[in-house]
């Protein structure tokens, strides 16, 4: 199994709603990532979890709350979002080891397209 699965594929929410994006991988990867991507732009890193601990938070507003319940799952809880938060949210994973010899490839899911009304 070499996939990262994201649900839902599409989400429309109001500014007062609470919703969650989910991500799952079964490749034994120990690093998991959330990226935000606007149209025609590169992915912007939001959060990194290494061995289920939050290791990088790129100054993301608190209306985005990540959670890593176990090594296979990553959630992004959304609350009180703004219309400018509408974007494609990409989950990714990598081996997470500082191996000099490995390629340590980043594997992406297909994304969750979020629209905030």
Residues of this chain that interact with other proteins (CB under 8 A) are 4, 6, 31, 33, 40-43, 45, 48, 50, 55-56, 90, 92, 94, 96, 98-111
Nearest distance, CB of residue 8 and other proteins, angstroms: 14
Per DSSP, the residues of 6-54 read EE-SEEEE-TT-EEEEEEEE-S---EEEEEEE-TTS--EEEEEEETTEE
Between 44 and 67, whose beta carbon lies closer to other proteins? Answer: 44
Nearest distance, CB of residue 80 and other proteins, angstroms: 26
Q: What whole-number distance in Å separates Cα of residue 79 and Cα of residue 14?
A: 9
C-beta separation of 46 from 77 below 8 A: no
Nearest distance, CB of residue 95 and other proteins, angstroms: 9
Between 84 and 99, whose beta carbon lies closer to other proteins? Answer: 99
Q: How far apart are the first and last CA of the chain?
A: 36
Between 66 and 96, whose beta carbon lies closer to other proteins? Answer: 96
Between 85 and 96, whose beta carbon lies closer to other proteins? Answer: 96
């Amino acid at each position: 199994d070499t996939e990262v699965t994201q649900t839902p594929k599409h989400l429309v929410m109001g500014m007062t709603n609470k919703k969650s994006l989910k991500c799952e991988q079964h490749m034994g990867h120990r690093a998991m990532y959330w990226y935000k991507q606007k149209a025609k732009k590169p992915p912007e890193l939001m959060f990194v979890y290494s061995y289920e601990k939050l290791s990088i938070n790129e100054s993301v507003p608190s209306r985005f709350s990540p959670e890593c319940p176990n090594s296979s799952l990553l959630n992004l809880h959304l609350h009180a979002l703004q219309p400018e938060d509408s974007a494609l949210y990409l989950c990714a994973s990598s081996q997470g080891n500082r191996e000099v010899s490995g390629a340590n490839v980043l594997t992406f899911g297909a994304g969750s397209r979020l629209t905030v009304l």
